[in-house]
Amino acid sequence: MKKVNLSLEKLTPMIEKVERLSKVQRILIYSGTFFILIGAFVYFSYIPKFKTISNLKKELTTVEKDLATAKRNAKQLNAWRNKRKMAEAQFRIVSKALPEKNEIPSLLANVSKSGQEAGLEFLLFQPMPDIVQDFYAEIPVSIQVVGGYHNVAVFFDQVSKMSRVVNIKNITMRPSADGASLETSCSAVTYKFIEQTAKKKDKAGKKGKKKKKKKKK
């Protein structure tokens, strides 16, 4: 309590001096003191809180954007999952239409048989080297037959109705040497899936050969 009294005693002369001033001067002093106190409050209390609130608002905006992005990604993920399921279903359907490796000889035999049943005479039926694509290989057969236009049409129709996929490509027709029929050249193409394990073994074998060659050097 004594310390407080001493402080008040020190302030008393100042208070008396202020009281002796004119009314306008006292108003100015009181106003200045008031604004100083307000300024100190704003600077030391309000501004830090304002900065904190501003930072929190920015963080909230960022979180809301991230949440909106996450929701969009979730919707897209579900859409991609559905597309994947559809693609897998289509793949299963297509894979059933493609011949197995051990079915290819009998399939080609059926193509030849269909031509003979359609009344065509085969001049050429020659399997060509496989054409390897990304995950499958084309198995082309070069065909050359002699017969009427109707017979050729029947042959193509029978091939298109086979349970396994066989496409007829590169069709050319010209009159035969006797002029009584047509000489038709085309390619019958079927397909097979390439086993990934086989591809990996081929790559490993090639790498092994390269290493052996380097060692010999």
Q: What are 137-155's pLDDT values in tens digits?
A: 888 999 999 999 999 999 9
CA distances from 117 to 78, 87, 114 (A): 51, 38, 5
Share of the chain above pLDDT 90, in %: 21
Banded model confidence at residue 196, pLDDT cuts 50, 70, 90: low
pLDDT in tens, 105-120: 888 888 999 999 999 9
CA separation for the pair 123, 171 (Å, rounded)? 15
Do 3 and 79 belong to one domain?
yes
pLDDT (0 to 100) of residue 3: 47
Do 88 and 127 belong to one domain?
no
Which residue did the predictor score with more confidence, 197 or 106? 106
**Residue 112's domain spans which residues?**
101-196
Do 19 and 88 belong to one domain?
yes
Domain boundary among 40, 66, 97: 97
| Residue 208 located in a structural domain | no
The answer to whether residues 33 and 40 touch, using CB atoms and an 8 Å cutoff, is no
- Is pTM beyond 0.85? Reply is no
